[in-house]
Amino acid sequence: MSVTQAPPKGELVRRASHLIPLLREKALWMDENRCMHEDAVDALAEAGFLKMRVPVRYGGFGSDMRTIIDVISEIGRGDGSTSWTLAMWATSAWTVGLFPDAVQDEVFSTPDVRICGILSPGAIVVPTNGGYIVNGKWSFNTGARQSMWNTNAAVVPTADGGHEPVMILTPISDLEIIDDWYTSGLRGSGSVTTIAKDVFIPAERVLPMGPVLAGQHLSKLNADTAIFKAPFMPTACTTVSAVALGLAKAAKDAFFERLPGRRITYTSYDSQSEAPVTHLEVAEATTKIDETGFHAYRAADMIDNKAESDEPWTLEERARVRLDLGAACQRAKEAVEILDSASGGSSIYRDVPIQRIERDIKTLNLHAILHPATNLELYGRIICGLEPNTPYL
Amino acid sequence: MEAVKIPSRAELVQRVADIVPVLRANAQWGDQHRRLADEVVEAMIDAGVLRMLVPAHYGGYESDMQTIVDVGIQLGRGDGSPAFCATAWWAQCWAVAHFPDSVQDEVFASPDVRICGTLVPNGKGEITKDGVVVSGEWGFNSGAWHSQWKVLSTLAINPAGEIEPIAAVVPMSDLEIVDDWDVAGLRGTGSITLVARDVFIPRERFQWLSEVARQEYGSERNADSPCYRGPIVGVLSNINTGKQVGLAQAAREAFFERIHHRPIHHTNYATQAEWPITHLQVAEADLKINEAEYHARTLAALVDHKNYSNEPYTTRERAYCRVAVGRVSQLCHEAVNIYNMASGAGGIYSSMPIQRIQRDIQAISLHALNMPIKNLELYGRVLCGLEPNTFFI
């Protein structure tokens, strides 16, 4: 296996910026066709973004979290669905890096392999000779139709009659796809439903979830690599916070692009840019976008610094990453809503980006792991001295 | 001249953290007597707070802006009024450091000198052949009771025959005191009105505003010191941020002291700590405090960078100085409101810190330099490509 030299960080961000015009051009198509455009998928691969979270020994870049935020947020300036899909692919490639090394050899033998992933257990896994049989159904399987593999959450029955959560890895070709992705937002992400009917999974492709969440990974070769030292939830949460940041920046770009020459209808303002109301709006939105970035990068720095120093994670720190994710989503949504409501009646046409950005950020905020109220409540419990009310942190 | 060892940032911050109990113990006295307790001023002198922006030549520290933020936070944790007076004194030390060196020799004869003052021009000055004769009155002189000098601003006719503001430094003994400081917030600052009746000020003790705006300063000795580089908007905005973050932190500390034994009356919750509403409140307040500190740190980094590199500011950067302090005010005010409203009726007793913190942060947010909406409007104008609508940028 050849080892690729990872491009310097600035180079990856430049490549992401370079993709923005293409993504903006395809965004409406993706919104209408409810999946990513092949040109966008190819462009992500060509830029090397599908290698960012792949272990270095397979030609991956092993990019740190700051780089991940830089790139995924920049892609989000181009298109929210593409940014979200890239976040899923990056996270799931990283998740495969937690599996035994023989499994990784198989999955990563395909360069730029695309792996989609689901966190909520939608299936039951039953032991059989040499492995397990899985049956179940997962909704919201982002990018499934354009992926080769799928990391999926499931439960396995335990001796005491209970269930233990596991992470399983299946080739997409083993799953049935139901295209039910008719949604209000993130339409281009093609987050369809997938079904497993009596699918056999070899034992090494089933990972108990408890140790995964605790940060105990099965890969021996990745054990000492910086990016694989981070626990699962902080890694996944920080990665997706970049999507919120990208969407908020996209809204600002979209607003300022339309501002010159726009009037405020039925008022005496000849130019929206001269109205003090506009000044309050753009200043407030801009400071909130800065704050979105603060939260995303604070979480990223925590992950990168801990990987460097080998310091263990406290419960409060894990909860703070969830808080940062919730806060990033909340501030980004507030910023987008301000700019959206300042964009006038003409902005509701489907070919005007701001209305799609607004639908995308709202959708992001409704995700069970990203929802601000859920994350704020969790962090609040911890700093009030209570136990967490979820294992997902 | 005494040789003074400049304490490290960590040492200075620790010293100020150590006097927090003194500030807290005297807070109610200050609130009731509408001035700082002598013990508080002495504690700040002993900790070195009042030397931070005094030239090193006179035993001052010429502190950088991150250190100013650190110390401001500690002072704000202690009590809003002394924190506010420190800001006012810092501002005027910084201003006097631009006067001719001979004036500084007199004013900074003690490095712990207190100089009160305000920016707003009032009254009038009659230019004479060797100085100016000034009459007028100036409100809001924070810390005046404990000051030896005042910087005032008034209007005079410049050599070109136009009306132009001047800034002048005068001994307190030349001024009359009007104790009109009966106010809702920041009561301990003793921000009384000072009156000048035909006070003669020698030429070297005043500067034309146009000279200040062009950064043509009278001091030769401080001309190359990074600490005293302009523009004034950078330093003045920066010195205002820390205390507000500190006040919000004080509200948090006061709140968490009570939650484990406070019942939520007329509900089934045994303590406030277990109430899910509390969890949302503390998380939301916490992230606002973190965001406020983020803006304070970003601003400090900008001003320090400009001071040390001597790079000129862009208009947008100058406007950011204003919006940063405005957003700090907005976020800290919002955070304190959350804690205050969550503190119940028990919080309104005069002996309870939360009610004073609430009044103090509100008073700070109403200050012309901090007022969030004004700063947001200015920043928004600049983002929209308009000219600033203020001289103070």
pLDDT value for A223:
84
- Kindly determine whether residue B283 and residue A290, on different chains, have CB atoms separated by under 8 Å: no
- Set of chain A residues whose Cβ sits within 8 Å of the Cβ of B294: 290-291, 294, 298
Alpha carbons A330 and A179: distance in angstroms, whole number: 30
- Kindly determine whether residue B298 and residue A295, on different chains, have CB atoms separated by under 8 Å: no
Q: What six digits make up the tokens of A74?
A: 């920049």
Q: How many CB atoms lie within 10 A of CB B371?
A: 17
pLDDT value for B216:
84
**Distance between first and last Cα of chain A:** 35
- Kindly determine whether residue B283 and residue A380, on different chains, have CB atoms separated by under 8 Å: yes
B316 touches chain A (CB under 8 A): no
Scanning every residue of chain B, which has its alpha carbon at the shortest distance from the alpha carbon of A384?
B273
- Kindly determine whether residue A283 and residue B287, on different chains, have CB atoms separated by under 8 Å: no
Query: Distance, in angstroms, between A253 CA and closest chain B CA?
Result: 12
Scanning every residue of chain A, which has its alpha carbon at the shortest distance from the alpha carbon of B319?
A283
CATH of domain A115-211: 2.40.110.10
- Set of chain A residues whose Cβ sits within 8 Å of the Cβ of B327: 287
pLDDT category of residue A3 using cuts at 50, 70 and 90: low
What percent of chain B shows pLDDT beyond 70?
99
Q: What six digits make up the tokens of B345?
A: 């009726």
Provide the chain B residues 164-183 that lie in CB contact (below 8 A) with chain A: none
- Set of chain B residues whose Cβ sits within 8 Å of the Cβ of A273: 384-386
- Kindly determine whether residue A280 and residue B282, on different chains, have CB atoms separated by under 8 Å: no
Q: Chain A interface residues facing chain B, Cβ-Cβ under 8 Å?
A: 259, 273-274, 276, 278-284, 286-287, 290-291, 294-295, 298, 323, 327, 331, 373, 375-381, 383-386
> In the CATH hierarchy, which top-level class contains the domain A9-107?
mainly alpha
pLDDT value for B124:
96
pLDDT value for A217:
78
pLDDT in tens, A310-323: 899 999 999 999 99
Query: Distance, in angstroms, between B69 CA and closest chain A CA?
Result: 18
Q: Kindly compute the dihedral angle of the four CA atoms of residues A118, A122, A125, A131, in this order, to the nearest 10 degrees.
A: -20
Q: What is the pTM of this model?
A: 0.93
pLDDT in tens, B96-124: 999 999 999 999 999 999 999 998 899 99
DSSP code of residue A110: S
Q: Give how far Cα A64 sits from Cα of A8, A44, A113, A230, A245, Å.
A: 11, 18, 19, 11, 17
* DSSP E strands, B142-191: 149-157, 163-171, 176-178
Length in residues, chain A: 393
* B236, amino acid identity: L
Q: ipTM above 0.85?
A: yes
- List beta partners, residue A351: none
pLDDT value for A1:
46
Query: Distance, in angstroms, between B225 CA and closest chain A CA?
Result: 31
* Mean pLDDT for the stretch of residues A183-206: 97
Query: Distance, in angstroms, between A266 CA and closest chain B CA?
Result: 21
Q: Where are the domains of chain A?
A: 9-107, 115-211, 230-383
- Kindly determine whether residue A323 and residue B286, on different chains, have CB atoms separated by under 8 Å: yes
CATH of domain A230-383: 1.20.140.10
- Set of chain B residues whose Cβ sits within 8 Å of the Cβ of A323: 283, 286-287
Q: Tell me the domains of chain B and their CATH numbers.
A: 9-107 (1.10.540.10), 115-211 (2.40.110.10), 232-383 (1.20.140.10)
B386 touches chain A (CB under 8 A): yes
Closest CA relative to residue B115, chosen from B147, B80, B155? B147
Please state the three-class secondary structure of A243-304 as a single string: HHHHHHHHHHHHHHHHCCCCCCCCCCCCCHHHCHHHHHHHHHHHHHHHHHHHHHHHHHHHHH
- Kindly determine whether residue A283 and residue B274, on different chains, have CB atoms separated by under 8 Å: no
Alpha carbons B291 and B275: distance in angstroms, whole number: 25
pLDDT in tens, A324-364: 999 999 999 999 999 999 999 999 999 999 999 999 999 99
Q: How many CB pairs under 8 A join A and B?
A: 105
- Kindly determine whether residue B373 and residue A280, on different chains, have CB atoms separated by under 8 Å: yes
Low-confidence ranges of chain B (pLDDT < 50): 1
Of A58-62, A363-367, B387-391, which range is least confident? B387-391
* 3-class DSSP state of A66: helix
Pick the residue of B278, B284, B334 with the most A CBs within 10 A to test the interface with A by mutation: B284
B258 touches chain A (CB under 8 A): no
Task: Give the one of A259, A279, A294 whose C-beta lies nearest to B381's C-beta.
Answer: A279
pLDDT in tens, A208-249: 988 888 877 778 888 888 899 899 999 999 999 999 999 999
Q: Residues with Cβ < 8 Å from B152, sequence gap 6 or more?
A: B117, B118, B122, B123, B134, B136, B138, B167, B168, B170, B194, B196
- Kindly determine whether residue B294 and residue A294, on different chains, have CB atoms separated by under 8 Å: yes
- Kindly determine whether residue A290 and residue B298, on different chains, have CB atoms separated by under 8 Å: yes
- Set of chain A residues whose Cβ sits within 8 Å of the Cβ of B260: 385
pLDDT in tens, B217-252: 889 999 999 999 988 999 999 999 999 999 999 999
* 3-class DSSP state of B222: coil
